[in-house]
């Protein structure tokens, strides 16, 4: 029987367990994958701690992103999918279709082929990061070549995808990281500027970098008290996209900055793109084309074997990584 990862009680990654269950039969509109690699995300860490947008229905599977081979399809699904190498798009509930394990069953609309030159580890390091950044910056933000864009948590896989999208458009990427430890690597990975928030004054540095204009687009998964600083560095009419709550702290509303600069604070979730077929189609082509020609390159920070799933999530939560944490599945 295939092994899967399930959560039996809320808490840290040490609560993740290896379970065996009978092979699943895909239902109408679904496909079953033989999993070869899994990409880890902060969403799963928040999920197993009970801090995510949906509450785990215990015992709960977890996982949004895997790459593998389609081995069976359900009713209404084109049989031509069988045998194809695909990766999953986060367009489903983890309670219903959690993917981490030796097999995964997901809706057919949540799979996509990845460039044939890619390994499964690269294939599972695409959709969460590039779709999340694309949706905010390109689809809703209307990213332009003369824009300055602030990217917080810049060393995450989503942060690095955002840097690549900004650079591809010809705009300026300002990467934020807590210390100077990751500065050189972020610059090497495409950031135009790096600000270490624990030792540098963000607003002063932004004023210097932008020649006093400020930042039009801010892309932030952290929230919390630092949102006030981000507002201070925003340009008049700027948009601050908040797509997460990694700080774990209350988020004060920067009222006076909002009023004086006419700022927009935009709550944003990936499902705004994955939940709309036409938007997702456009986004997939945008990303696939750039992956294929080398403009976009997923950065893998570290890989772990399936047996070390707990350690992989512990590493994810350590904030040591630059890029995607990946599990390889035998």
Both tokens assigned to 78: 């084109």
Same domain, 106 and 146: no
| CA 270 to mean position of chain CA atoms | 9
The C-alpha atoms of residue 264 and residue 176 are separated, in whole angstroms, by 20
List 103's β-bridge partners, or say none.
34
Same domain, 103 and 170: no
pLDDT digits (tens, 9 = 90+) for 19-31: 999 999 999 999 9
Same domain, 101 and 186: no
pLDDT digits (tens, 9 = 90+) for 283-310: 999 999 999 999 999 999 999 999 999 9
Of the three residues 270, 287, 319, the one that is the final residue of a domain is: 270
Same domain, 109 and 171: no
Which residues of the chain, if any, have pLDDT below 70? none
Same domain, 17 and 92: yes
Same domain, 10 and 73: yes
Looking up residue 22, the CATH number of its domain turns out to be: 3.90.180.10
* pLDDT (0 to 100) of residue 259: 98
Range(s) of the domain holding residue 92: 3-126+298-328
CB 121 within 8 A of CB 67: yes
Same domain, 135 and 258: yes
Global pTM? 0.95
Query: Computed over its alpha carbons, how large is the radius of gyration of the chain?
Result: 20
Residue 79 lies in a domain: yes
Same domain, 152 and 113: no
* pLDDT (0 to 100) of residue 140: 98
Tally of domains in the chain? 2
């Amino acid at each position: 029987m295939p092994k899967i990862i399930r959560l039996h009680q809320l808490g840290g990654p040490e609560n993740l367990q290896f379970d065996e269950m009978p092979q699943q039969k895909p239902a109408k509109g679904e496909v079953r994958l033989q999993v070869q690699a899994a990409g880890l995300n902060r969403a799963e860490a928040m999920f197993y701690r009970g801090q995510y947008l949906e509450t785990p229905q215990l015992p709960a599977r977890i996982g949004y992103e895997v790459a593998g081979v389609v081995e069976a399809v359900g009713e209404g699904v084109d049989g031509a999918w069988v045998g194809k190498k695909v990766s999953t798009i986060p367009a489903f509930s983890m309670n219903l279709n959690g993917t981490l394990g030796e097999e995964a069953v997901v809706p057919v609309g949540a799979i996509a082929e990845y460039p044939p030159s890619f390994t499964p580890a690269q294939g599972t390091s695409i959709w969460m990061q590039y779709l999340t950044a694309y949706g905010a910056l390109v689809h809703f933000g209307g990213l332009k070549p003369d824009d300055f864009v602030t990217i917080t948590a810049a060393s995450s896989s989503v942060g690095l995808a955002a840097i690549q999208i900004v650079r591809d458009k010809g705009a300026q990427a300002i990467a934020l990281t807590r210390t100077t430890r990751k500065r050189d690597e972020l610059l090497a990975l495409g950031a135009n500027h790096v600000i270490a928030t624990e030792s540098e004054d963000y607003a002063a540095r932004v004023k210097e970098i932008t020649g006093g204009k400020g930042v039009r687009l801010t892309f932030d998964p952290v929230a919390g008290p630092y949102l006030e600083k981000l507002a201070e560095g925003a340009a008049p009419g700027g948009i601050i996209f908040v797509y997460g709550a990694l700080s774990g702290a209350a988020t004060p509303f920067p009222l006076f900055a909002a009023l004086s600069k006419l700022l927009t604070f935009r709550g944003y979730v990936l499902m705004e793109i994955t939940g709309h077929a036409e938007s997702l189609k456009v986004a997939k082509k945008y990303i696939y084309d750039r992956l294929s020609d080398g403009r976009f390159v997923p950065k893998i920070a570290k890989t772990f074997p399936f047996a070390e799933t707990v350690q992989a999530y512990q590493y994810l939560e350590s904030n040591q990584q630059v890029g995607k944490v990946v599990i390889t599945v035998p």
